[in-house]
Amino acid sequence: MSGAPRDSYKGSDSRHLAAVARSLRWADEAAERGEYRDALGWLQAVEAAGEELSDAYQARRNGWLAAIAIHRSEC
């Protein structure tokens, strides 16, 4: 890669990491309110930003999907 040295990207990296952390926090908050579809949307945003979900968030996603399925079967 040519152009500016890597140091010039540090601010962008920190903003990216902060946005990912916020998105994960918002996913957790949505799930706490029972808004599992919104929580899943925040996880999709993290993945769209190029981040891989940790095992813990993959497990949460599976739990949220299960909660949605249970709700559907009760209706």
Contact predicate 57/43, CB 8 Å: yes
Q: What percent of the chain has pLDDT over 90?
A: 76
Q: Residue 15 — φ and ψ, nearest 5°?
A: -65, -40
Could you tell me the sign of the dihedral formed by the alpha carbons of 14, 20, 25, 26, in that order? positive
Q: What percent of the chain has pLDDT over 70?
A: 85
Q: How far apart are CA 27 and CA 35, in angstroms?
A: 9
Q: How far apart are CA 66 and CA 39, in angstroms?
A: 13
Q: What is the mean pLDDT of residues 6-16?
A: 69
- Which residues have CB under 8 Å from 31's CB, separation 6+? 39, 60, 64
